Amino acid sequence: MQFREHMKKTLLLGLIPIMLAGCTGSKVNIGSNDAKLVSENVTEAQNVVIYPDDNPSVADGKGVWQKMNCAQCHSDTGKPVSGKAQVNLADAEYMAKQKPLDQYVFLTYGKPGVNHPQLKNALSRRELWDLVFYSRSLAIAPLTDEEVAQVLPVWGSNCAVCHGTRGHGDGPLAKNLDPTPANFHQFDRFYDRDDNILEDHIANGIPWEGMPNFLNKQDRTKNVKFDRAYIKKLVQFVRHFHEDIHPTVAQTPDTTKPDTKAE
């Protein structure tokens, strides 16, 4: 009995400092080994990708480009200004290798060893994504509304049966396929793919996923041959499901152009 009473008193005395610390708000000292596991400062997460709420706008991205004066280093066309930029944003071969996700990370957080500003505090998430897709458009133009309308019947005859008319992966055959066909509106999936990957998937297919190959095949009813040029157009058709070419915000007038209105 005396031993039990002694143990109770010992445990109670040991708990008093902790109880007092909780009541008074004072800190409890932690041993040197455990202190390594605790930090009062939370390090800001780097390279965190936050996806947009809606399709980024190429048109809005042009406004962001002008706002940040990107042309000072990249020129209006994306070709590098001598001594200020090394990357040619107007090079289609270069841009086809770039993932939108990686471009977002670079613009937001920069890259060690590369002299480029971090824009995370200068732009909103939406503006960053708009700028990504405007930068991409300098090398590989997105399809116009007219071009989308021209491809749509070909899409309907060859792709919509699996991917759906609107690209949601919900075509008539989708429920019979495992894995289910890709949903082209899925940002985290298709912003992590460059154009070359999409072109390869369309051209050569993905047999283990049921995706057929289309390179050099023909749709005789639509008078279309799936050569490299047309497959590249299909890549941009896929992109149109997760990007927009139209402005979604009020555009600032371009004051660099002369006013042609009659006096």
Do residues 103 and 182 both lie within one domain?
Answer: no
7 has pLDDT over 60? no
Percent of the chain surpassing pLDDT 90: 75
Core vs surface per residue 100-136: b (16+ CB within 10 A) or e: bbbbbbbbbbbeeeeeeeebbeebebbbbbbbbbbbb
Q: Say yes or no to pLDDT of 201 above 80.
A: yes
Do 153 and 235 lie in one domain? The reply is: yes
- Domain of residue 197, residue span: 145-239
Q: Are residues 150 and 229 in the same domain?
A: yes
The answer on 149 and 133 residing in a single domain is: no
Is 21 within a domain? no
Same domain for 220 and 165, yes or no, is yes
Q: Is the pTM of this model over 0.95?
A: no
Identify whether 11 is part of a domain: no
Q: Between the CA of residue 72 and those of 75, 118, 211, 215, 256, what are the distances in Å?
A: 6, 16, 44, 41, 15
Is residue 263 in a domain?
no
Q: How far apart are CA 195 and CA 260, in angstroms?
A: 40
In this structure, are 74 and 131 located in the same domain? yes
- Please check whether residues 205 and 152 belong to one and the same domain: yes
Based on the fold, state whether residues 127 and 161 are members of the same structural domain.
Answer: no
Note the pLDDT of residue 47: 87
Work out the mean pLDDT of the chain and round it to a whole number.
84
User: Which of the listed residues 137, 158, 184 is the one where a domain comes to its end?
Assistant: 137
Position 96 pLDDT exceeds 90: yes
User: What pLDDT score was predicted for residue 249?
Assistant: 79
Per the domain annotation, does 102 fall within a domain?
A: yes
pLDDT tier at 28 (50, 70, 90 boundaries)?
Answer: very low
Q: Are residues 99 and 162 in the same domain?
A: no
Shared domain for 151 and 173, answered yes or no, is yes
Residue 40 domain flag? no
Which residues, other chains included, contact 221 with Cβ-Cβ below 8 Å and sequence gap of 6+? 157
Which of the listed residues 137, 161, 176 is the one where a domain comes to its end? 137
- 151, 120: one domain: no
Residue 37 domain flag: no
pLDDT confidence of residue 75: 98
Both 83 and 162 in a single domain? no
pLDDT tier at 33 (50, 70, 90 boundaries)?
very low
What is the average pLDDT across 199-222? 96
The enclosing domain of 126 has a CATH number of 1.10.760.10
For position 31, what pLDDT does the model report?
40
What pLDDT, on the 0 to 100 scale, is given for residue 45? Answer: 61
Structurally, how many domains does the chain consist of?
Answer: 2
Of 137, 161, 187, which one is at a domain's C-terminal end? 137
Query: Within a domain: residue 257?
Result: no
**Domain contains 100:** yes
- Specify the higher pLDDT residue, 12 or 140: 140
The pLDDT value recorded for residue 1 is 47
- Say which residue, 75 or 6, is predicted with more confidence: 75
Count Cα atoms within 13 angstroms, Cβ side, for 1: 0
